[in-house]
Structure 1
């Protein structure tokens, strides 16, 4: 087996032979251009002159593409410019990029939600020049110019809201700012509560689960169902387990049937038993 020194010596010998072969090729090309160098092999001085001339020509043209013989780049590897190595991003940079992506995705989700629950135009947001005015008490006061209504209204206590944009002219009603704020706040609370109730939870079990662990899982499912949430129970098959996924799933369904109703009936797919139940507090509302 060759040692490291022998391998290095062999590599150096091969490199020198390669450079000499390139020098010989380049010298033959210069002989055709310069008649004074016809006797290339006559002496070492001519070889030195050719090498110096070749080096000078390469150094003056190394910034120009295709400067070698026959329009090819014959520059030695050690003379070529190295391409700048792109440094790898640091862990901090990667983390910042991930955070920015998360922020952008959340902003997109927020924009989608805002688009679904877009509020009606108010005050200067109303573009119609003429409106059908409805007072705070619900009395229709006829058609009025929008500018005159806004000028006569106490803007600190009241706001003008478009309630029917399809009417001609659009119908707008005067609301108390405080009352309108309380209504919107209550509506947001109800929407958030509804979203929390509808949020689906997944509880994963295995067919070799013990009695104590199964009791803990069932209590957790019951707690979610009492809040009106939807829960999907999944039982995974384990090799050499005494119980089957179907048996464990049916046992869980019996324990939680008092607090839930079946949304998706039980099914088995490739050894995975699953069923979805809904809390009764949401069903009765």
Structure 2
């Protein structure tokens, strides 16, 4: 129940109150031209919006008295969605790809894995390199560090170490990021 209430609260914060939803006695009114008209009774503000055939929108509900603006709400929402789409276009999504190694990996297998990581890094993705130690291999974690360092050297022309190899339980992980990023 608590999570549901919080979700409803977030939805309400995104949607602005418009026209009849505004039940405040007094509001600070801004005209459609951006001119401040001062503190006006709520009913009068709604009547002014109806006269101009526009919507009355509460843009700052936390202010005392709340700030309302006369505007075309449909046009306003369209502009907002346009801005959000533009912001999403500019974001770059970075994926994290994983390459798994073993502490006693052969040289050729290491080169094949490094070629795979090379492709990921050249596409702009980050790479998580992991080694899982099984059974008695836990006694030879130094081999894991050596394998990780060799791997980092093989992909050094396109990637750099973002997070050095670290041992957490039976897993050793290292993160590589593309050099151009």
How does the TM-score come out when normalised to structure 1? 0.44
Residue in structure 2 matched with residue 187 of structure 1 by the alignment? 84
Distance 2:23 2:144 in 1: 62
Deviation at 1:258, TM superposition (A): 4.8
Q: Which of these residues, 123, 138, 144, is aligned with residue 245 of structure 1?
A: 144
Specify which of 26, 29, 52 is matched with residue 130 of structure 1: 26
Give runs of aligned pairs for residues 25-174 of structure 1, distance below 5 A: 112=7, 115=10, 118-123=13-18, 124-153=20-49, 158-174=54-70
Task: Measure the CA separation in 1 of the matches of 2:151 and 2:8.
Answer: 36
Q: Cα distance 1:164–1:249, how it changes in 2: closer, same or farther (>3 A)?
A: same
Q: Residue 123 of structure 2 corresponds to which residue in structure 1?
A: 223
TM superposition shift of 1:272: 2.3
For 2:89 and 2:21, how far apart are their aligned partners in 1? 27
Unpaired runs of 5+ residues, structure 2, are none
Deviation of the 1:144 alpha carbon: 2.0
Higher relative contact order (CA closer than 8 Å, sequence separation 6+) = 2
Q: Structure 2 vs 1, CA of residues 248 and 185 (structure 1 numbering), >3 Å: closer, same or farther?
A: farther
> Given that residues 133 and 172 in structure 1 are in contact (C-alpha distance below 8 angstroms), is that contact kept between their aligned partners in structure 2?
yes
Offset, 1:125? 3.0
Following TM superposition, by how much is the alpha carbon of 1:253 offset from its aligned partner in structure 2, in angstroms? 3.7
1:91-136 per-residue CA deviation (whole Å, 9 max, x = no partner) reads xxxxxxxxxxxxxxxxx89x84982783153213333122101123
Structure (1/2) with the larger helix percentage: 1
Distance 2:127 2:53 in 1: 46
Give per-residue Cα distances to partners, 1:122-179, cap 9 Å, x unaligned: 2133331221011233221112233333333259974333232232211112333324
CA displacement, residues 172-200 of structure 1 (integer Å, 9 cap, x when unaligned):
12333324422234225636975x737x6
Does the residue aligned with 1:153 lie in a helix, a strand or coil?
helix
The separation in 1 between residues aligned to 2:51 and 2:157, in whole angstroms, is 55
Q: Which runs of 5+ in 1 are unaligned?
A: 1-107
Count of paired positions: 164
Give the structure 1 partner of residue 167 of structure 2. Answer: 268
RMSD: 4.1
Match of 1:27? Answer: none
**Distance in 1 between residues matched to 2:36 and 2:113, nearest whole Å:** 66
TM-score normalised to structure 2 length = 0.63
Name the CA shift for 1:250/1:113 in 2 (closer, same or farther; >3 Å): farther
Q: Is the 8 A contact 2:117 2:127 kept in 1?
A: no
